[in-house]
Amino acid sequence: MDAYSALLPAPVKAEASTGYCLLSADAAVEADGSPLTGAMVRSFLAELLPLADNEIPVSTTRSVTVAVDDGAGEPGTYTLRVEPRRVEIRAGGSEGVAQALTTLRQLLPDTIWRRAATPPPEGWQVPCGTVEDRPAHGWRGAMLDVARHFFPKRTVLRYVDLLAAHRFNRLHLHLSDDQGWRVESRLHPELHRVGSWRPSTRLGPDGPDDGTPHGGYYTLDDLAEIAAHARTRGITLVPEIDVPGHTSALRAALPGLGRPGEEQAVLDTVWAGGTSIAPLGRTEAVLRDVLGEIIDATGAPYVHLGGDECAMDWWPEDPEVAAAMAEAGCTTPQQMHGHFLRSLGEFLAGRGVRMVVWDEGYVTGGVLPDTIVMAWRGDEAAGRAATTHDIVRSPLFPTYFNFDQSELAGERRSEGGPVTLDDVSAFAPAPSHWSPQQRERILGGQFQIWTEWVPDERHLDYLAFPRACALAEVLWTGRVADPDEFRTRLARQLRRLDAMGAEYRPLDGPHPWQTGGTGVWRRTSPGRIAETRAWLDSISHQA
Ligand code: ACM
């Protein structure tokens, strides 16, 4: 297979020609565009340096030029032309340049995916040819739940690199939930001091306490670093503060924002626990502070406000909330849920930030005209939202990668499934019966990894890959056109992942050390994905 046929995701058009370009760190750079894209190219070239100074090839290569023009086309589009003495990148913005550099890297030997690699004696050879490419979907995302289990900054930075290698361009960080609050607030430090840790963790609703404290949070500087690092890889950070449900950690830190008289504590790993915050002006004021701090640190153009699985029956029974509901003209808690989210969305809009919600927010009217809806409860919920709003496809099946990857008994215990590699390969972001208007509303899609059952980075790698390779193909090209041909390119991509040190699940089943063994991680029940899907359909009209 020539290098131009081994790209993953597949480009729109790629043609190999004859000869090669000897590329090295000392190639001249002609940058026409933003300082960022020039720096991205220089940093790419610096990574071509060999391990030891004395291994730098004496340059027959000094006359090679890498020319970059970032003003050519829509974000993410690019043309890459490799000639014997010139590499030319014409791309749409920094996202397009990032894509061109990913392609250039994939055209090199797999060892280039290591942090440092010794070039072959003849130097790094890029085969000549041309790639003309553009994404089928503008939103190609990955959601990581850092609340149920905390993943340190170094893991997130590395995850960004793994995502960029697959042309993903959104990192959605689920920064708060019942089980943890994961970002510093200088205005309300109780949030990270109290909300960021729990004294114990239970594996599943009926698991025993393990008695081991778990916690961690990102400082605002950490979050700024993650956003900046992601930007240099063509990825936009999408922070999520999930309200008004999933807020036990927030309420543990600021009990005055919860239901009066109710005990407030950061939960162990039982999901969808706790109740909700009180949708009051003083709650909103705190959230505006926190969201403002996050926006200032990251420059995020999108902020996710959650809105899912909110237990709000108590609102009308509480005199203070009931008064707030009356003032807002809301007669049901669902209306108040919508009012609360819209109000925060208006604050975001005032900061030039676009609001994102899970589909419950759509059901309660908690959306502004430009709000992006992520429907996790199936195609029908997404189809309803797509009649009026932009959507990002994120259905539990097949984009929840925290579910088992097969029915093999050895898969490690999780929430069920399976969601197989083939299921992901077959995913159609636009169901065939959707109208052209609904299809036009699809910005793209993303995979999610909820981490109740994912304690560490090794397990994260195992769940993400190779399923993310298949979703990358779907979102970049529109679909996996030929599953057999895709598998050939996937085999090559797995070698690139080996070089990056990613501990993916092998195609024929987990390594022994990736299985559940006979202890607490043993898989105890068969997958029930059909039942799960039917249940989701049945609740997808509810808030
Ligand atoms: C969700 O899975 N509750 C978005």
Euclidean distance between the first and the last CA atom of the chain, given in angstroms as a whole number: 51
CA distances from 336 to 111, 308, 332, 348 (A): 55, 14, 6, 18
Looking at the CA of residue 450, tell me the nearest atom of ligand 1.
Answer: 2
Q: Tell me, what's the pLDDT at 527?
A: 87
Among residues 223, 154, 167, 193, which one has the least CA distance to residue 12?
Answer: 167
Ligand 1 closest atom vs CA 394: 4
**Cis-peptide into 75, omega within 30 deg:** no
**Pairing mode of beta strands 236-243, 302-306:** parallel
DSSP SS3 for 96: helix
Name which of 135, 175, 127, 134 is nearest 151 in CA terms: 175
- Both 59 and 189 in one domain: the answer is no
Domain encompassing residue 19: 3-133
CA 469–ligand 1 middle distance (angstroms): 23
Amino acid code (one letter) for 109: P
Same-domain pairing of 328 and 406: yes
Ligand 1: nearest atom to the Cα of 306: 4
Q: Are residues 128 and 192 in the same domain?
A: no
SS3 472: helix
User: Whose alpha carbon is nearest atom 3 of ligand 1?
Assistant: 308
Mark whether 153 and 118 lie in a shared domain: no
Same domain, yes or no: 282 and 156: yes
Cβ proximity of 427 and 471 under 8 Å: yes
Given this model, what pLDDT does residue 204 score?
76
State which of 99, 114, 133 marks the end of a domain. 133
Same domain, 14 and 121: yes
Closest CA to ligand 1's atom 2: 376
Q: What is the pLDDT of residues 10-59, one digit of tens each?
A: 999 999 999 999 998 889 999 999 999 999 999 999 888 764 455 555 55
How many angstroms does the Cα of residue 460 sit away from the middle of ligand 1?
18
Alpha carbon of 327 to ligand 1 centroid (Å): 30
- Together in a domain, 115 and 154: no
Q: How many domains does the chain have?
A: 2
129 and 235 inside one domain = no
Pair (123, 168) in one structural domain: no
Among 133, 150, 184, where does a domain finish? 133
CATH of the domain at 14: 3.30.379.10
Q: 214 and 92: one domain? A: no
Which one of 175, 243, 308, 403 would you pick to mutate in the ligand 1 pocket, going by the greatest count of ligand atoms within 8 A of its CB?
A: 308
What distance in angstroms lies between residue 38's CA and the mean position of ligand 1's atoms?
Answer: 39
Residues 129 and 242 reside in one and the same domain? no
Ligand 1 geometric centre to CA of 487 (Å): 31
Pocket of ligand 1 (CB under 6 A): 308-309, 358, 376
Residues 6+ apart with CB under 8 A from 17: 128, 129, 130
Q: How far is the centre of ligand 1, averaged over its atoms, from the C-alpha of 376 (Å)?
A: 6
Centre of ligand 1 to C-alpha 62, Å, is 53
CATH number of the domain encompassing residue 207: 3.20.20.80
Q: Do residue 330 and residue 449 come from a single domain?
A: yes
Ligand 1 atom closest to the Cα of residue 448 is: 2
The minimum-distance atom of ligand 1 relative to the CA of 396 is: 2
Q: Which atom of ligand 1 is nearest to the CA of 309?
A: 3
pLDDT reported for residue 275 = 86
DSSP bridge partners of 124? 23
Those residues of the chain that have pLDDT short of 70 are 50-62, 270-274
Helix (H) or strand (E) holding 379: helix 379-385
Query: Domain boundary residue among 133, 168, 191?
Result: 133
Which residues contact residue 432 at a Cβ distance below 8 angstroms, ignoring those fewer than 6 apart? none
